[in-house]
Amino acid sequence: MKLYRLSVRGKWKIIYYFLTNLAVVILLLSVIFLLLPGEIQHSISTGIYIMAAISGLIIGTMAAKIISLKEELHNKIATWQKRHENIHDYIGNVVHDLRSPVASINMIADILDNELNNIEPMYKELIRSVKKSTQSMLDRICCILDNSKIEKGIDIDKMKPGNAFDVIVDVIKQHQILAIKKDIKILLRIPRKIRNCYFDRDALENVFSNLLSNAIKYSHPKSKIIIYHKISHHTVEFFVEDEGLGMNHDDLSKVFGEYTKLSARPTQNEPSTGLGLAIVKKLVEQMDGEVKAFSEGKNMGSVFSFTLKTESNVKTMIA
């Protein structure tokens, strides 16, 4: 069946004809009403007044009921959201508390697997089974925690101006052991007295942690990672540059998507949930910044950057 779209002029014509016909009907009814005898006019007028009063009462009652239902729905939604947040926080805390003991068991199993070479094959297989199971559990725990971070986002009230240098140094310390294992040098080219930015500390730590972790995972051994910045009038832009596997055009187009699998795989088969960069994008945007990715191609390394507003610019925006 062929459908026809009305032009703007055609729509106005329909409205014009409708209003014209309505005016004609009202005019005819008014003329007929005036031609009726006075007693009939009085009766009709009384009936019209009664019908108007009843209609007004019905409409008012319905409006009050709609307002009441709207308020009730709003209260139920608020209650549900609060319960959802409480359950979400509880699950997040439980899973977070599980991560440390599971990681400890995994580390002990790894040490036993590497050090105990003169034991029976059956025990060796049991140790490797424990190692594999705990690694799988760790992957799932990390995935749940990453999902939790995406859903929760940041608390805008916690955003305040500060120096990002200390946050960056803390993140580098947390990942230093992973870099040492692959003989990767992390070069920090950001001065201690950097211009103050507006950020949430936990969110900024999460952003740098994900970017640095990714850089280590996708870098070759004996390479380097450089962390530097650029200052513009309104923002500070931070960069994490590696000499790793790089990305093609297709990778760049979807790199910040959730559960994204890129063409390259971590150079030593490190685990990845596929949520790290999606978390980075969400947190940076919630801090009113912008995130970017750049690569010249496969095996050409990658550069990830994000911006934060400077304190002076934020004050101007608030004012």
pLDDT averaged over every residue in the chain: 79
- Please give the full DSSP string across the chain, using - where no structure is assigned: ----PPPHHHHHHHHHHHHHHHHHHHHHHHHHHHHS-HHHHHHHHHHHHHHHHHHHHHHHHHHHHHHHHHHHHHHHHHHHHHHHHHHHHHHHHHHHHHHHHHHHHHHHHHHHHHH--SS-HHHHHHHHHHHHHHHHHHHHHHHHHHHHHHHH---GGG-EEE-SHHHHHHHHHHHHHHHHHTT-EEEE---SSPPPEEE-HHHHHHHHHHHHHHHHHTSPTT-EEEEEEEE-SSEEEEEEEE-SS---HHHHHHTTSTT---SS--TT-----S-HHHHHHHHHHHTT--EEEE-SSTTS--EEEEEEEBHHHHHHHH-
Please state the rounded mean pLDDT for residues 270-299.
86
Q: What distance in Å separates the CA atoms of residue 299 and residue 138, rounded to the nearest whole number?
A: 29
* pLDDT tens digits, 131-190: 888 877 777 777 676 666 666 667 667 788 899 999 999 999 988 888 888 999 999 999
**In the prediction, which pLDDT does 149 show?**
63
In our burial notation (b when 16+ CB lie closer than 10 A, e otherwise), range 93-119 reads eebeebeeebeebbeebbebeeeeeee
* pLDDT tens digits, 31-43: 666 676 666 666 6
How confident is residue 266, by pLDDT bands cut at 50, 70 and 90?
confident
**In the prediction, which pLDDT does 8 show?**
46
CATH number of 156-318: 3.30.565.10
Please state the rounded mean pLDDT for residues 297-301.
88
Amino acid at the residue 4:
Y
